[in-house]
A and B are shown apart, each in its own frame.
Chain A
Amino acid sequence: MDSKAKNSAFFWLRKNLFSSWLNTLLTIGVVWCVAAVALKAIFPMFSMDWSVIGDNLKLIMTGSYPADQLWRVWLCISYISLFGGSSFGYGYRKLPIVFISILIFQFLLLFLPFSLLSKAFLCINIALALLGFYLIRLFPKSTQTGIIIGAWLLLLPFTFLVIYGFTDPSGFMPKITTNYWGGLLLSMIISLTSILFSFPIGLLLAIGRRSNLKLIKLICTAFIELVRGVPLITILFIGYLIIPLALPSSLNPSVFIRAMIGIIAFHSAYMAENFRGGFQGIPRTQYEAAMSLNLSKPKTMILIILPQVLKRMIPVLVSSFTGTLKDTSLISIIGLLDLIGISSAIASNPKYMTSNSQVLLFMALIYFILCYSISGASNKIEKALGITTKQAGKS
């Protein structure tokens, strides 16, 4: 090491950790605390018996989805890999570090004791992601945008088609009802569906709230405020207990659908509030300019206002996905086997009764990795689009 680097490291330490005697004292105290916590709480974690995760990995990821149909889940992941790779290829010229680290992570997973099928699909996923990264450049720029947006919009229909299936039991994709869905798969599907539906409904509610028509304004405002004033769990209970009463008994929706309706209603109200923020960011001059061009109200909305609002809403949409993903954990209270529901199911197995902490910690890790990377992506998109949101406290 040359002396300059050494010096700069020394100066960095002095500037950031030991700038005054108070700071030095603080640093030493904090280091001591961290060491104590690490010794008492973090290190014992390594000596815990983590075999419960390996034994139940399939359960945690997909619930009681039939084991011989797991390739369908992998197919959906391959779809995401391919178009995830293409999205990176669309945004970056060289392989970005995030992308490489995701690939390396997948590569490292190969060394864990997974089944042959999983390993094969992992290899395919890595290949597809790389393929997508380079393939997307063969198209002209405008087509690229279309492909990427289209692919992400089609993700949910594709997932439903593949996971739910469409043939009879003897066919090649037998129907698998939602009762068998569980674990991370269920959490992801519910969050994605809820975001996709609550976006347009929230937009309509927000427009309704800004409307000059008193009655529509009243009803939209009442719905938004009602939903925002009560906890999600009461809305889920309405879905769980009241919807079956309010619908003809011939319909009899499954718990999955009822939970879905509750979550969508809940997030629509919050999405409407986000949209309201987006609308308030549009200067009044935009409306006045549109009026002076003699555009009608619907035309002003569709041609002038909405495109600007939607652009502002893209990062909000991505970051509210983390909120949705976190809120989805409540469906375990009405008996669905999402990640948290699965953790209780594992805890009730006498064999794993003592390993409940490990399962919960592993789930916390899954949630953290997912939510952290999504909010990181949202920040990236925000910067790329050159939008500064109001709540940015970064000054």
Chain B
Amino acid sequence: MKSSLPDSRIPSLKSMLEDDRFRNFLWQFIFFILIVFLLGKASSQVISALRTRGMMPSFKFLTLSSGIVVGEKLIEFDSSSSNLKALMVGLLNTISISLLVIVFSSIFGLFVAICRISSNWLVSNIAKAYIEIIRNIPLLLLLLVWYRAFFLQMPGIKNAIMLGKTVSNEGVTKASLILSNRGLFLAWPTPTEPFVMYRFILLGATVAALLVWIFLRVRSGKTGKKALGFLWATLAFLAIAAAGWLSMGANHPLRLDFPRLGKFNANGGLYISSEWFSLFSGLVLYTSAFVAEAFRAGIQGVPKGQMEAARALGLGHLRSLRLIVIPQAKIVAIPPLTSIFLGIAKNTSLGVAIGFPDLFSITGTIINQTGRALEMIILVMAIYLLMSTATSLFMNWYNKRVQLIEH
């Protein structure tokens, strides 16, 4: 393209190429076309491949009956329920186990971190060995060791390990804890008939506790006195609940249900399957090592002078930790903790290796049953993304709340 008028209003190709904005646009355009082309090519290929198999992508199969049998479920589910409901069961399992792991690994991780920075050489080094071993072994292997080398090696139901064993006159064996290769049975309080009544008492106790808490907050806001609101509220709750319990006399609203040993299995009480417990304890052990390192980095990141200054002001060791060191350590520890907590929901997907029906392993089963790989993977990725986003939004909000605001 030759321009006869060098200084005409129509820019030449060369001058256009020298313009930054045009060049940027050109690059993006080429990149965009390339991506669209590749994606279009791949998706048309996928659709034509699916068409030859007679399976056009659609989500209708979700409403069909699944035919899956799930051992662990928090909601009503049987094999005639829909695929969508099966997915729901898996999602609830994933969420519940993730939340429990977050709580327990935070507590255990903090404990390990405290051991790690202890001045006792033995304690500190045992904590260190624990952290190093866990961090250098794949989680999958840890779960498999825990499941196959520990739980499945437990004695059979005949020789089960029992605590608090009693044999009644009819020859029924009861115990407060039965551990066998079938899983763990625990004595657990179950509601009896008077519980319907007792529920109202509990409701009343909760309301009273809330009132106490609000009253103390308001009063401390007025007088400036320190209020132990939480403590008093708990005490109020316990007092009313206990009074209610006693007033009901012999009709205890809750009864301890002891597991009974049967011929092939135990029943009654709280049943924790080997799979659930392997996944839960494996994840807690694994996550705690990382949580401990995050806490330790946080505590050690606080300059020594802070502690010394707090002590010089006459605060005791524990109070200086609580009021001076930990609030500062929190700021350092939260970003790494966020990524650890984000990892937990994703790590539960390894339940598939030990047969725990989490979101991913249910997805795998549905794919096997229906052959709907594409739809299921899109769906499950969307769910995981939603969970990750929710967690990170919450942690970012919390992070913002505790960060120092420098003016």
Which A residues fall within an 8 A CB radius of B? 16-17, 19, 23, 26-27, 30-31, 34, 212-216, 219, 226, 228-234, 237-238, 241-242, 245-249, 322, 325-327, 329-330, 332-333, 340, 343, 347, 356-357, 360-361, 363-364, 367-368, 371-372, 375, 391-395
Contacts and interface: CB of A to CB of B under 8 A. Distances in A.
Contacts of B350: 233, 330
A140 to B, nearest CB: 38
Given A213-B28, A245-B374, A30 B123 contact: yes
Interface stretch (B138-146, B172-180, B244-252): B138-146
A233 B360 contact: yes
A393 B137 contact: no
A367 B149 contact: no
A360 B145 contact: yes
B137 A368 contact: yes
Nearest to B144: A360
Given A219-B35, A226-B385, A357-B148, A249 B49 contact: yes
Interface stretch (B213-221, B320-328, B376-384): B376-384
Interface residue SS majority, chain A? helix
Contacts of A241: 367, 373-374, 377
Interface residue SS majority, chain B? helix
Given A326-B139, A367-B136, A19 B45 contact: no
Contacts of A23: 119-120
Contact of A213 (B27, B137, B388): B27
Nearest to B45: A246
Interface stretch (B182-190, B230-238, B294-302): B294-302
A233 B148 contact: no
Given A360-B149, A361-B145, A391-B336, A245 B50 contact: yes
B369 interface: no
Contact of B346 (A231, A248, A332): A231
Nearest to B293: A393
Interface in B263-294: 293
Which one of A212, A228, A230 has the greatest number of beta carbons of chain B within 10 Å?
A230
B144 A367 contact: no
A363 B141 contact: yes
A290 to B, nearest CB: 17
A226 to B, nearest CB: 7
B49 A340 contact: no
Contacts of A19: 119-120
A246 B137 contact: no
Given A17-B122, A234-B381, A241-B373, A393 B300 contact: yes
B126 A30 contact: yes
B360 A229 contact: no
Interface string B20-59: 0000100110011001000000110110011000000000
Contacts of B27: 213, 216
B356 to A, nearest CB: 13
Contacts of B102: none
Given A231-B346, A327-B138, A332-B140, 13 more contacts: A16-B120, A16-B121, A26-B123, A27-B122, A27-B123, A230-B346, A230-B384, A231-B349, A326-B138, A330-B140, A371-B136, A393-B296, A393-B298
B133 interface: yes
Nearest to A327: B138
Interface string B339-381: 0000000110110110000001000100100000110010011
A237 B139 CA distance: 19
Contacts of B377: 234, 237-238, 241-242
A38 to B, nearest CB: 12
